[in-house]
Amino acid sequence: MKTNLQQKQTSTNPNQTGLPLVDVIVDSIFDMKAKEVVRLDLTHLPESVCDHFIICTGTSTTQVKSIADNVMFEVKKATGEVALSSEGKDSAEWVLVDFVDVVVHVFLKETRAFYQLEELWADAKMLVYDDEGNLKEQ
Mean pLDDT of 24-47: 96
Please say if the pLDDT value at position 105 is more than 80.
Answer: yes
Cα(28)–Cα(75) distance, integer angstroms: 8
Backbone torsion region of residue 88, taken as left when φ is above 0, otherwise alpha when ψ lies between -120 and 50, otherwise beta = left
Mean pLDDT of 7-14: 30
Please say if the pLDDT value at position 91 is more than 90.
Answer: yes
Cα(81)–Cα(94) distance, integer angstroms: 22
More confident residue, 19 or 125: 125
* Top CATH class, 4-128: alpha beta
Please say if the pLDDT value at position 122 is more than 60.
Answer: yes
Domain boundaries, the chain: 4-128
> What's residue 6's pLDDT?
38
pTM of the model: 0.86
Please say if the pLDDT value at position 88 is more than 70.
Answer: yes
